[in-house]
Structures are given as C-alpha cells and as structure tokens.
Structure 1
Amino acid sequence: MRQLIESVNDTLKGQLDLEQHGGRTFEGVTVRVAQRVLALAAAIWHNHKTGQPITRSLIA
C-alpha cells in the first residue's frame, strides 16, 4: 500500500507542475488538478478490476 501511495504521489507531482500545464488562474489550476486526479483514479480502478499487473498504467 505504501508503494502505491508513493507512486501516485510521484506521478501527481510530475503532472501538476504549473510550468508544464500552463495554469494561470486559481480556477484553471483547480480544474487541471481535478482532471489529473480523476484520470489517474479511473485508470487505477480499471486496471485493478481487470487484473492488470501494472495498475498505474493508462495502456496496461
């Protein structure tokens, strides 16, 4: 469980960098963060339910 949490945290840190996605307003940043978190959660859930060996992959 700890490895999963650390892995998700590392992924989010890379995806939420303001310079990479161009967030300029609080609302824009909020939307981008929500999009990333929901996409990652959906991928992990789907891969877990389908028995994929790598749950954090969008192409597993």
Structure 2
Amino acid sequence: MLTGDQDLLTTPGQTTVGDKGYGSKHLDTFMADHSLTLLQPSYRKPRPGEHLLKPIRQLIESVNDTLKGRLDLERHGARTPAGVLARVGQRILALAAAIWHNRANGTSLTRSLIANDH
C-alpha cells in the first residue's frame, strides 16, 4: 500500500497503525528507510507506543459498530458499486445531520436518532 501511493511516503515521521500480522524484518527496514513508524501490538517484547493501540482500536470498533449496526450498512440493498457508494454516503450524511441537529438544540445524547425517527 505504501509503495502504491508515493504521497504516503512524502512526509517523514508519519505513524502507521498495523495489526500483528504486519510484523516482519523487511517491513521494519522499509519503514526505517522512509523515516516512518509502525505502531502495532508486540508478539513477545513490548514495542514503543504499544500503549496507544487500545484507544485507537476502541475508536475503530465504535465507528464500525455504528456503521454496521445503526446504519445497516451490511444490508444496503444496492446492486452496483455506485449504488453502494450512494447509499452508504446517504446514511452517513443523515447521521452527521442528526448529530449536528441534536448538538444545535442542546440535546444531551447527540448521537441519538430517536427524536429524528419519523
């Protein structure tokens, strides 16, 4: 992925988050050669920055749960890639509008869609 998009390599000091399966000496060498940092869980000995992974993982799982559960993105009903993009974008935009509306009105639960369920 990094070699496929050269723009990803233009900013030295970037941190990339990966899973355990991405660990290899070849990848570590590649990252060091490009002044990049790979943040991933360790197999045996602790790695620098490993303590930062739990909050990142929780955020990713929260977003995935919202997209799959509340927005029914696994049952979008589209038949073409363009239809999938349209329906997914439509649902994300609707959720963003509901959150904005709840915040603008001072609702305590900003992610609640109940008030907007007509």
Distance 1:36 1:54, change over 3 A: same
Structure with the higher strand share, 1 or 2 = 2
Offset of residue 58 of structure 1: 2.1
TM-score, normalised to structure 1, is 0.73
CA distance in 1, matches of 2:92, 2:78: 16
Unaligned runs of 5+ in 1: none
Aligned residues: 56
* TM score, norm. by length of structure 2: 0.41
- Alignment partners' CA distance in 2, 1:52 and 1:13: 24
Q: Distance in 2 between matches of 1:21 and 1:33?
A: 7
How big is the shift at 1:48?
0.7
**Matched letter for residue 88 of structure 2:** V
Give the percent of matched residue pairs that are identical in Structure 1 and Structure 2: 68
Q: 2:103 aligns with which of 44, 48, 53?
A: 48
Listed as ranges, the gaps of 5+ residues in structure 2 are 1-55
* Larger relative contact order (Cα-Cα within 8 Å, sequence gap ≥ 6): 1
Partner Cα separation in structure 2 for residue 38 and residue 21 of structure 1: 15
**Which structure: greater helix fraction?**
1
Displacement over 6 Å in runs of 4+: 2-5
The correspondence of residues 16-55 of structure 1 with structure 2, limited to 5 A, is 16-17=73-74, 20-55=75-110
